[in-house]
Structure 1
Amino acid sequence: MPAAERLILILTWLARLGAGLAFAVLIGTVLIQVLGRFTGIAPVWTEELTRYALLFMVAFGAGLAFRSGDLVNVDVICESLPGRAPWVLRLLAAAVTAGLALYLLPHAWRYVAIGRMQTSPALGVRMDAVHASVWLMLALLAVFAGLRVVGMLAGTETGKPEKPEEE
């Protein structure tokens, strides 16, 4: 297996693991919240942790969704164009997405830095750890969009969304 393919597999696996762990925390926290309502002991921190888990789930999942083509995509007009035009538009969309995400990364880092001076009210977590979800989302989006551009230019992928196998 070529090194590039192995890198893509590792990045995809890590992003899936992160999204899965964030989802597990989200489910567990909401379960505690719901059970707490029945017992009369609803911990204050559950609402806050639910928000943070959701942020990290989106942060890990956005790049994966771009990679698989599951992000919202209006391609009715694009895919009906003749010749190579759909491929060019998919390439352009991936390049613009990667470029915009890269452009926003330093600004997101400043947002993360602001969080060093803040803590969350219920959990007491430094907010830079929470704000890092925005930076992480942009970084993974840039990486996965960049991988699509490279794959399309190398001819190893078409840029079309992955179609799940029908059973």
Structure 2
Amino acid sequence: MTYAFKGLEGLCRLLILAAFLILSGSVLLQVFARTFLTTAPVWTEELTRFCLIYIGALGAGLALRSGDMVNVDLLCESLPGRGPWILRLVSALLTAVFGIALLSAAWNYTAIGIRQTAPSLGWRMDFIHASILILFVTLTLWALMRVFEMLTGRHDGRPIPTSEDV
């Protein structure tokens, strides 16, 4: 199971990189066109917005995994005994429960986009609305992974530092 999550993590990171590169290219094109040309393409603003949405959706689960989400460590870690561990477990469980509860609504939201198109790009909006579905799926998976690791004793639920943090 760990290999599957490492693969998911790698895929999310790769897709975030792709979205960021597309976003950067779109912004550079917009700046260049506004500076040196008589008109700038209007679709660059929409593409930039879509890239930002996907970066957030793909990054939420990774942020939960690495501990980059907002934490209330001051309260949590000041509790005695197993209190901090229990709070981290309950927090991960609640995140998973809310993620699962919102999956149906995210699916419906995505399905609505089939009948809509983006104004300047002309893309079907279900591809854009799918970002919300991706957000809840990845967030739920990472929360369940944290719960599993905590219950099996593989991890204490504290944020996992990345190589840059060490």
Report the TM-score range of the alignment, normalised by the length of the smaller protein: over 0.9
Paired with 2:76 and 2:40, the residues of 1 have a C-alpha distance of 50
Partner of 1:146: 144
Paired with 2:161 and 2:126, the residues of 1 have a C-alpha distance of 37
Compute the TM-score of the two structures, normalised by the length of structure 1: 0.94
Identity %: 49
Deviation of 1:74 (Å)? 1.6
Deviation of 1:163 (Å)? 3.1
Deviation of 1:76 (Å)? 0.5
Partner of 1:122: 120
Deviation of 1:162 (Å)? 2.2
Paired with 2:47 and 2:141, the residues of 1 have a C-alpha distance of 27
Partner of 1:76: 74
Partner of 1:67: 65
Partner of 1:12: 9
Q: 1:37 is matched with which residue: 34, 38, 41? A: 34
Compute the TM-score of the two structures, normalised by the length of structure 2: 0.95
Residue deviations 1:34-84 (CA, integer Å, cap 9, x gap): 111112331110000000000111111000000001011122011010100
Q: How many residues align?
A: 164
Letter in 2 for 1:23: F
Paired with 1:98 and 1:19, the residues of 2 have a C-alpha distance of 22
Coordinate RMSD, CA, aligned: 1.2
Deviation of 1:164 (Å)? 4.6
Partner of 1:104: 102
Letter in 2 for 1:21: A
What's the secondary structure of 2:117's corresponding residue? coil
What's the secondary structure of 1:80's corresponding residue? coil
What's the secondary structure of 2:68's corresponding residue? coil
8 Å CA contact retained: 2:61, 2:135: yes
Runs of 4+ off more than 2 Å: 162-167
Paired with 1:141 and 1:162, the residues of 2 have a C-alpha distance of 15
What's the secondary structure of 2:8's corresponding residue? helix
Letter in 1 for 2:57: A
Letter in 1 for 2:28: L
Residue deviations 1:66-124 (CA, integer Å, cap 9, x gap): 00010111220110101001000000000100110111001011011111111011000
Paired with 1:42 and 1:133, the residues of 2 have a C-alpha distance of 27
